[in-house]
Structure 1
């Protein structure tokens, strides 16, 4: 018979283990000595110690799930409770009980952690939904579209909530994306229609611009090109693949016209500058006729100057008033000299002036005689009336006398 503090072997080869509830049969050993029997079952005990130690390490240092940990504990507890080992089985049970408590504590920690993560995920998803609903109203199509795509990636990286909450938030999130996509599609459809209308309008403008490019009706055509440019700007942009080509054709047609006009205007400006020089020389020649001393000679000389003046073409518009004003001043001086000569030498006009003066003088003398007679008779009212009439006749007489003096009278 052999024994140790935790077990013994009786004379029949039966192995026992000592527990708090008394001895328990471990097994039977017939193959060797009792010491070998105890050593064999002690090794089984050490195996259980190693397995429990490994499980303790896994529970403490890995993310072993509570369910798997509990299954392993139950499996080891069954082996301990089967009493097929010699050793301090109560100590092993105590260690397994401590493991159960540790696993339960870990289970609660993870439950709290999962709840915290769930709350954080809920908050994050609610924030994503709120931002998506705000973006759904945006007109910044590219930026908002890119941001919504980024929000989807963020959403995918977040933990799932309970099905009801997750489905409700996803429905709002998805609805916001759909609403934005619908608005963007409508916007670009409308934009495409506008650009197509702009293309048709610009095709028409290009056709007219090209038809006008060879016109030599400079003023009206230039004005029409300005109108066409205003219509072009008001038409908006056509599709990108058409806009540049249409603009190049439109601008090219204008360039042809304005280059031709510039060439013609440059020649015209040079010609008009030469014309101005010639007319200034003629104006200087005409100005030498003033003051007029010999009317007949001056008139003949001015006529010669004027004929040469008319034979010269246009001068620059801004110089025209000044040079023409110089000729007009000479022409007025000749007209005034002619009028003075006519008044001095016209006998019929002088006779008419003398006749009119005589008639007015007779009327004035008669009115004075009538006024004196009315006063003598005491008829002051009649005298006053006649005096007013006398004032008018006297004024006419004074004017006629002035005209008569102009004839040298």
Structure 2
């Protein structure tokens, strides 16, 4: 008979293992010596030790699910409980019991982690919905539209909540986006409608101006032209592609009429010479408004000068382009100041200018880095080519920065 601290083999070849509940039969061994029998079943025990150790490591260091871990534990426990190994089986059971407790703790930890992640995702989506609902009331059409698109991308990257909560929040989010889109569409439709109405009005004014261009009823026709001009200014701007053409036709019709009147009134040269003197004085008065500093005051002053100008009457034909050109130069300066003020206070144009400047600055910075890298690598040809490309981008950036200064930043 042979034995060790955890097992023995009796004279019949039966192998036993010692446990806290007494000896348990491991198996029968007839093929060799008792020492070989014990060694065989001790190796079986060592195999169980290795398997339990590996499972402990997997539980501690991997994302093995609690369900899979429990299946593995149950499988090993069946082997330990079968008593087909010689060794401290009670210690193995204790390790398996401890492993069960560890798995349960991990299960609870993951459950709490999932709950925390769900709460964080809910808070994040509620914040997105709140911001979207605020943006839905914005009149900064470009900036708000871009921000809403960014919020959609953020939403897509967040985990789903329970179906009911997720659907409710998404419905609010989607409704806010739709409300913004409807308001933006209505805004630009209104602008388009206003410009189209201005175009129709100006086409009517042009038609009447052209019809009057052949009139010889000098006084009433000239008065009517002044009325048409007032109506023109009150009509607002048409679409850019129509405005200049309509103005050229309108002004051209007046030129035809007043040129004819000037021809008929050749005897009034003296009067027209006096008119020229007066208009030159008004032009000089208008030129003193330059440079435009106080737009509102300059506009009012020019309007007063222009009203006196219109009341004076015509000047000699050959002098007219020069003196009117002086007035037009002041008028253009006021218009440019108005347009600059409009651009400066227009958030959509500012956002567009800032976006372009940012893109160009990024391109310039990237080219500078590529040039440094090419120089460091000794690639002079590539560096020179990139330098030429940088010059072009830098010029565009300088121009964009100059434009951005018009917005005061």
TM-score, structure 2 as length reference: 0.56
- Change beyond 3 A, Cα 1:166–1:215: same
Deviations 1:320-359 (A, max 9, x none): 9999999999999999999999999999999999999999
Q: CA deviation at 1:380?
A: 136
Which of structures 1 and 2 has the bigger CA Rg? 1
Q: CA deviation at 1:81?
A: 1.9
Q: Is the 8 A contact 2:357 2:397 kept in 1?
A: yes
Q: CA deviation at 1:234?
A: 3.5
Q: Secondary structure at the match of 1:11?
A: coil
- Change beyond 3 A, Cα 1:48–1:326: closer
Deviations 1:126-170 (A, max 9, x none): 222222222222233222222222222222222222222222222
- Change beyond 3 A, Cα 1:144–1:28: same
- Change beyond 3 A, Cα 1:125–1:252: farther
1-structure distance, mates of 2:354, 2:31 = 186
Give structure 2 stretches of 5+ with no counterpart.
Answer: none
Q: Which has the higher contact order (CA 8 A, sep 6+)?
A: 2
- Change beyond 3 A, Cα 1:121–1:16: same
- Change beyond 3 A, Cα 1:128–1:211: same
2-structure distance, mates of 1:204, 1:93 = 101
Q: CA deviation at 1:91?
A: 1.4
- Change beyond 3 A, Cα 1:311–1:349: same
Q: Secondary structure at the match of 1:249?
A: helix
- Change beyond 3 A, Cα 1:138–1:38: same
Q: CA deviation at 1:228?
A: 4.6
Q: Secondary structure at the match of 2:16?
A: strand
Give me the CA root mean square deviation: 39.3
Structure 1 partner of 2:111: 111
- Change beyond 3 A, Cα 1:229–1:148: farther
Q: Is the 8 A contact 2:262 2:317 kept in 1?
A: no
Q: Is the 8 A contact 2:19 2:90 kept in 1?
A: yes
Q: Is the 8 A contact 2:140 2:348 kept in 1?
A: no
Give structure 1 stretches of 5+ with no counterpart.
Answer: none
Q: CA deviation at 1:89?
A: 1.6
Structure 2 partner of 1:9: 9
2-structure distance, mates of 1:44, 1:377 = 64
Q: CA deviation at 1:103?
A: 1.8
Say which is worse superposed, 349-358 or 113-122, in terms of deviation. Answer: 349-358
- Change beyond 3 A, Cα 1:266–1:174: farther
Q: Is the 8 A contact 2:142 2:351 kept in 1?
A: no
Q: Is the 8 A contact 2:143 2:348 kept in 1?
A: no
